[in-house]
Amino acid sequence: MKIKVLLAEDDVNLGLVISDQLKSDGYAVSLCCDGVEALQRFNSEDYHLCILDVMMPKKDGFTLAKDIRKMNTEIPILFLTAKSMTEDKVQGFNSGGDDYLTKPFSVEELQLRIKALLKRVNIKVETEEEKLIQLGIYLFDVENYTLKNGDEIKTLTKKEAHILKVLYKFKNQVVPREVILNAVWGQDDYFVGRSFDVFITKLRKYLSLEPSIKISNIHGVGFKFEIKK
């Protein structure tokens, strides 16, 4: 299994150049053109490194890094930016970044920064992401968006499956509402929040036959996906 890199760069040409180079270096790369798409991709797959452009539409790199850090405090984050001001670098590190590369940069410098960041973390590339998750009497097929209970199969929408996956990832702990909204929609505005409430109601109904599972609304904070053993 290859080391997986999430690359968020709104300059299409530069993004393709970096992506092609990293692929030739043996990395698996997911290229996104804005921060919202990048956050959705981050929460749909497991990555080992994030390379984030600072100035992006919809969600800038600093905000994206903060959202990523709410869900993963260990993954290395490398910022790419045209700015070299000290205050910008400070903001980058305060946002959760581990390193900072100012444009224009050489391929060799990028390669060295990536290798240095990967050395800091204990990467287990052999670990496969769970595709089938047992939820009491239900079997959740993550890839095919289905909940199976005996001979009965319920096909979930992509959003329903994604929400369930995020809730399970943080099982038995309180997850802030904004974390789930950003993970699934890439934003946390009022209208998205109302849609989210509808999806939660549906998921509770789908899982209602399993008494050991409970999706609790922690008022003013978020949700807790409880699985009693």
pLDDT in tens, 37-50: 999 899 888 899 99
Whether the pLDDT of residue 126 is over 50: the answer is: no
Q: Pick the last residue of a domain from 87, 119, 151.
A: 119
pLDDT for 127 beyond 50:
no
Which amino acid type is present at position 211? P
Of residues 192 and 60, more confidence is placed in 60
In a domain, 181, yes or no: yes
The residue among 1, 68, 62 whose CA lies nearest residue 41 is: 68
Residues 63 and 138 in one domain: no
Structural domain span for residue 139? 132-227
Question: In terms of domains, do 112 and 169 share one?
Answer: no
Average pLDDT, the chain: 88
Q: What is the mean pLDDT of residues 55-83?
A: 90
CA distance 167 to 123: 24
Most confident range, picked from 84-88, 163-167, 181-185: 163-167
CATH classification of the domain holding 222: 1.10.10.10
Residue after which a domain boundary falls, among 97, 119, 141: 119
Q: Which of 110, 103, 98 has the alpha carbon at shortest distance from 22?
A: 110
Question: What would the mean pLDDT of 202-206 be, rounded to a whole number?
Answer: 96
b vs e for 110-143, b when ≥16 Cβ sit within 10 Å of the residue's Cβ? beebbeebbeeeebeeeeeeeeebebeebebbbe
Lowest mean pLDDT among 28-42, 153-167, 175-189: 175-189
Q: Which residues, at least 6 apart from 47, have a Cβ–Cβ distance to it below 8 Å?
A: 4, 5, 6, 30, 75
pTM above 0.75, yes or no: no
Percent of the chain scoring above 70 in pLDDT: 93
Examine the fold and report which residue of 119, 153, 171 is the final residue of a domain before the chain moves on: 119
Cis check: omega of the bond before 57, within 30 degrees of 0: no
H or E element, residue 91: helix 86-94
